[in-house]
Amino acid sequence: KQWYQRRVAITAGEYKSYLRSMASQNGNSLHFDNSSPFVNFGTDAAHHGSDPDKWDFKPIVPPISLSTTFKQPAPGQPPVYDYSRAGNPTRTAFEECIAKLEGGKYCVATSSGLAATMLLVNTLKAGDHILCCDDVYGGTNRYFNRVVSNFGIEITMCDPTDLEKFKSNLRDNTTMIWIETPTNPTMKICDIAGVVEIVKKRYEGKQVPKVIADNTFSTPYFQRPLELGADCSINSVTKYINGHTDVVMGVISTNNKEFYDKLTFLIMAVGPCPSPFDCYLALRGVRTLHLRMRQHETNSLAVGRWLEKHPRVSKVIHPGLPSHPQHELAKRQMKGFSGMLSFIIDGGKEEATLFLQSLKVCYDSCICAS
């Protein structure tokens, strides 16, 4: 209360220092080293895009607009929306919220994370080349190498931790750089700003490839790829952003108006739009993202530290642990760490299967999917 009275508008860094000093005075040990410095994140998550003044009846919670079509005063003159595949009031509220949280200007919501990936690939043409990190979500890997490659688009998979090797795989026809950080499932950290710098220098005076960063494992609470120079940040809303295991959705955020317009055209032309009800649920879920991510970080670090001491565990991979080979890069690029970690136990497939079948709290379906 005294702090609040002295200065209402405080920065996240000052608040962090204040909490540390209070904890020290009280004899407590609190972990605030990786607290998010993105000012007003929780407030924006709760309110941005949900302004009651958008509607005549001033609802605090945006309504679920289920209408597929909207009245027009004259043919071809929609006041805002015409057909729900192209746009929807509930969807707009969610998209505005995510754009704000990502530090971007625009957002496009899709029916799944892979639908967002497909939408981005639909901006390319036969003869183009995608340079993708070699450790990537299995669905992305499958889509690139078993679907996209059939349409004349070339795919190269490369270790994102070796920037020189990454640079050597760039081609004249490279039109998209696909990075995922941390990667799924080996938790590699890709230097987003480093990749962006390499790409800009390599294609100076030419058409610069779009740098796409999959931010699913970090979420915008702990990492903002757009602020590090990426053209687009993509998230599978299904995971942390919704956070309740009851919605399948994806989002693409960008600051590029021209590219955003292309994506909104493709939403209408290709059709991977989310339902209004899913948008309502995801908007509800994102309101607690900041609270959930803090606890995910606390839990995963506690589990990771415990596993590192276990005699049957040969390796723990968590970017928040000093044992991670890119721990320093992770600390510079990220503002904290999510609940994701990988570890290797003694034995082979039989032992790993037995371990998963023996879990009492976590369920093996998601772990096996990774």
Q: Is the dihedral of CA 65, 250, 263, 269 positive or negative?
A: negative
DSSP characters over 239-298 = TTTT-SS----EEEEES-HHHHHHHHHHHHHH--PPPHHHHHHHHHHHTTHHHHHHHHHH
137 catalytic residue (yes or no): yes
Alpha carbon distances (Å) from 70 to 59, 76, 94 = 20, 11, 19
Nearest to 326 by CA among 189, 224, 191, 223: 189
- Residue 12 gets the label, from left (phi > 0), alpha (psi -120 to 50) or beta, of alpha
Q: Residue 358 class from Cβ within 10 Å (0-12 exposed, 13-18 middle, 19+ buried)?
A: exposed
Q: What are phi and psi of 285, to 5 degrees?
A: -65, -40
Please report which helix (H) or strand (E) contains residue 224, including its range. none
Q: What is the largest CA-CA distance in the chain?
A: 73
Residue 250 to residues 103, 235, 253, 289, 340, Cα–Cα distance (Å): 17, 6, 10, 15, 19
CA dihedral sign, ordered 159, 165, 170, 171: negative
Pairing of strands 154-158, 106-110: unpaired
Q: How far is the first Cα of the chain from the last one, in angstroms, to the nearest whole number?
A: 45
Query: If you search the block for the tokens 């003159």, which residue do you land on?
Result: 77
Annotation says 239 is catalytic: yes
Write down the catalytic residue from 210, 224, 239, 331.
239
Q: What are phi and psi of 47, to 5 degrees?
A: -120, -30
Q: 167 catalytic, yes or no?
A: no
Evaluate the CA torsion angle 102, 104, 105, 111 in order and state its sign: negative
3-state helix, strand, coil in the chain (%, to 5): 40, 15, 45
Find the catalytic residue in 81, 106, 137, 221.
137
Name the residues annotated as catalytic: 85, 137, 214, 239
